Amino acid sequence: MSKLKEKWSSPVHNCDLCLTSIFEYGEFLDAKTIYGPWGLICPKCASSSVSVNGVEKEMTVGIGQIYKLDDEGDWAKVGDLNGQPYRRTKES
């Protein structure tokens, strides 16, 4: 069974929120933020919460995709948020 992996075809730049190099994480999200715009977001920012009008909210709103750096040096899609805020995968 061959399942064609979806890959990120654009250049990967630093996290839109904290400007940390995405390569430090080996993972990023292309996701809609609580502020409205989409962004290329590092796992740390994506799993953070922010205060919006005094209410604590998740940074991501459950719309977006997760990409991981694979063995070939490509960014392969590993999942969708599917309506759930991003949770950082635990170290195994």
Binding positions for Zn ion, rule: CB under 5 A: 15, 17-18, 42, 45
Continuous segment of H or E residues that includes residue 46: helix 43-46
Q: In what order do the strands lie in the sheet with 27-33?
A: 38-41, 27-33, 60-69, 75-80
Smallest distance from the beta carbon of 43 to Zn ion, in angstroms? Answer: 8
Closest to Zn ion by CB, 5 vs 88, is 88
Q: How far is the CB of 3 from Zn ion (least distance, A)?
A: 30
Minimum distance from CB of 19 to Zn ion (Å)? 7
